Chains A and B, each alone.
Chain A
Amino acid sequence: MEPQSELELTPPRRVWTVSGLLAQLKQGLEREFFDVWIEGEISNFHQAASRHCYFTLKDGQSQLRAALFASQARYLRVKLRDGLQVRVRGRVSVYEARGELQCYVEHVEALGRGDLQAAFEALKEKLAQQGLFDAARKRPLPALPRRIGLITSPRGAAIADMVRVLHRRFPNLDLLLYPVAVQGEAAAGEIATALDYFGAPGAPPVDLLIVGRGGGSLEDLWPFNDERVARALARAPVPVISAVGHETDFTIADFVADLRAPTPSAAAELAVRPKAEFLREQAALRRHLEQAMRYRLLRRRHELNDLARHRAFYALQQRMTQRGQRLDELTHRLERALRRQLERLERRFNSAAAQARRQDPRLRLAVARTRMERLQERLTGLWRERAAARRHRLAAAAALIEERNPLQVLRRGYALVFDAQGKLATAPEAFAAGDALRIRFAAGWLDAQAGPRR
């Protein structure tokens, strides 16, 4: 200690006002300590209605008041609480109203968390390199899941939200909950076991899995950053939606899952389309099917009518009718001729018999009988011959008709060419270059234009 007398020797005496001193101190501190990192433990933490956070940073010997304004607090990844070891970054200043030293905090890292964060980054890097996050690994969700496996806590909002949303969208969807702890030490192991359970033989089959929990602090979500969960997700037997209730942060599970939903309700929305939508689609497809078929039938009927009305076909039909008539006529004439011949033969036989009776009855009768038998033979022979000829001609005519049937010809790959007036063209001379022409295929019409004649 310096003796009092020496102090009095130092002129001139300077007297500060309190505020002047504090202002001076503040200036000095802010110049010297405008950006420092301080390590300590949080105590007396509280958050005001304004969302500003106030706490004390302490170590074994000392403590320092600290303030964290709401504008910065928003960006923190750490949930502040008493007892948390932290490293803060900020400026040291004086709270003049109370004459207190205060640290205005810009950023906080949890010390324990620092390790966790490093572990998170390391695991993320490792799994990414092993391809667990690859887009190619992501499986599409089933179009229609009939049973969905839910891996979450049986209590709380998450399961209630999912059941409600899923059944609102698809009332007869089956849901199977595998209850797990979603925070704490055991959670990661239970979640991994649950995921593996659905892949085990004999497990109730599901089409889709949702694994998740409601919102919470970063520590609460930590089980979803566990490597066991990540590996189990990667080998899940069916597509998995991750639903860890945190809008901004991704967990490792989010990266590995086939689809990431920001909340359990959102996962439920993604899991299945509303049944009403399916039903509307089905009805529409059925309607299309019926319309297409009706249209096909109608069109075919029109095509046949068109074809029947067409000149070429009409002419052929005419010919077919004429041929039919001619056949009828021929048949009729043949029958008449045969009948006349038969009558003539009968008359001749009758007169021969009469003559015989008139002459030598016995001899004449025998001669007459022989003649009659010969005549009968000739007559039947003639009949058979004529009938065979008739059958043959009928068959030939039928074959000719069938062969000339334009549909038959067209089906073999031929096509008919018509000019613009609908007249059948039989030679290239019917067209000048540039003339419109219509081509009739078996299955429809094609409009075309004539090129140069070759």
Chain B
Amino acid sequence: MGKTGGFEVSLQRLEAIVAELERAELPLDQSLTLFEEGMLLVEDCRKQLDAAEGKVEMLVKRAGALLPEAFSPAGEPPEE
């Protein structure tokens, strides 16, 4: 799902930025640039965590093709 790699990459970059800022050897303007990039990454990671919708589906054969349909395991009330 592509974006997953995105999450890992974002997280790694974010950690690298924090580490770099904490080393405190950068000129101020570079620090600010990194800080801004870091805040964008935080927002991006947060978005990715909320991206999925919590759907539970089962693939059902319809006219020769498998199509996802809402599914609820026995013993649990069906959703909506």
Contact = CB atoms under 8 A, between A and B. Distances in A.
Contacts of B53: 172, 174
Contacts of A278: 49
Interface string A159-188: 110011001000111111111000000000
Interface in A277-306: 278-279, 282, 285-286, 288-289, 292-293, 295-297, 299-300
Interface in B30-76: 31-32, 35, 38-39, 42, 45-46, 48-59, 66, 68, 71, 73-76
Nearest to A295: B24
Contacts of B1: 145-147, 205-207
B4 A142 contact: yes
A171 B54 contact: yes
A167 B54 CA distance: 8
A285 B28 contact: no
A296 B24 contact: yes
Contacts of A296: 21, 24, 26, 28, 31
B56 to A, nearest CB: 5
Interface residues of B, number: 46
A213 B75 CA distance: 17
A297 B35 CA distance: 12
A165 to B, nearest CB: 12
- Which of A159, A282, A289 neighbours the largest number of chain B CB atoms within 10 Å of its CB? A289
Interface in A129-178: 142-147, 154-156, 159-160, 163-164, 167, 171-178
Contacts of B68: 176, 204
B44 to A, nearest CB: 10
Given A143-B4, A172-B52, A163 B57 contact: no
8 contacts: A144-B8, A155-B74, A172-B52, A174-B57, A279-B49, A282-B49, A293-B32, A293-B35
